[in-house]
Amino acid sequence: MKRERLAAIGFLFLFAGSACERREAAVPDSIRAGAFLAFVMQSARFETALADFDAAAARREAARCNVAARQALEAARAARDQVEGYAVPEKLVPSRREELIFLNHAVPTFQAFLAGDAGSSEIGNLRSILARGRMHQKDGRTWLFKTLDRE
């Protein structure tokens, strides 16, 4: 009987203690939007590889284009994996989706480029596809800026 009474008292303390736990305040969407924006803008490795690719393409250096394209492909895959793993609230899902659409333009585009001969038509095609992808990226970041401005 004593054990049962002690167990009941222990349960009551446990229950009372859990009721007194501090709950974290909800993080406003504007703060989460700012954090996600800062996160996606850290894709410096990918942007650097794209700049290297553009510079090599302008000089018509096929070998350097291939090296820069490999670096851009690796960086785009890494960025895509990071963005896919970044949890956002429901309100920011459209922004995250647009960022992923851009990266999903970049990955297969560089894969196709590397499978080709690095000719000027392939470079033009790559730039065209990336420009369409950038439109999605811009839409996603505009969504984030609007969320920042609303709150």
Between these two residues, 131 and 25, which has the higher pLDDT value? Answer: 131
Tell me the residue range of the domain where 120 lies. Answer: 28-150
Average pLDDT rounded to a whole number, residues 87-109: 92
**pLDDT (tens digit, 9 = 90+) per residue, 110-119?**
999 999 887 7
* Range from 8-12, 18-22, 96-100 that averages highest in pLDDT: 96-100
Domain contains 75: yes
- pTM here is 0.75
* Distance (Å, whole) CA 94 – CA 54: 29
Domain contains 68: yes
Domain contains 71: yes
Domain contains 137: yes
Q: SS3 letters for the chain?
A: CHHHHHHHHHHHHHHHHHHCCCCCCCCCHHHHHHHHHHHHCCCHHHHHHHHHHHHHHHCCCHHHHHHHHHHHHHHHHHHHHHHHHCCCCHHHHHHHHHHHHHHHHHHHHHHHHHHCCCCHHHHHHHHHHHHHHHHHHHHHHHHHHHHHHHC
Domain contains 32: yes
Between these two residues, 88 and 16, which has the higher pLDDT value? Answer: 88
Domain contains 14: no
Domain contains 16: no
Is the pLDDT at 136 greater than 90? The verdict is yes
Domain count for the chain, please give it: 1
Q: Work out the percent of the chain whose per-residue pLDDT is above 90.
A: 39
Domain contains 103: yes
CA distances (Å), origin 69, targets 111, 117, 126 = 8, 12, 10
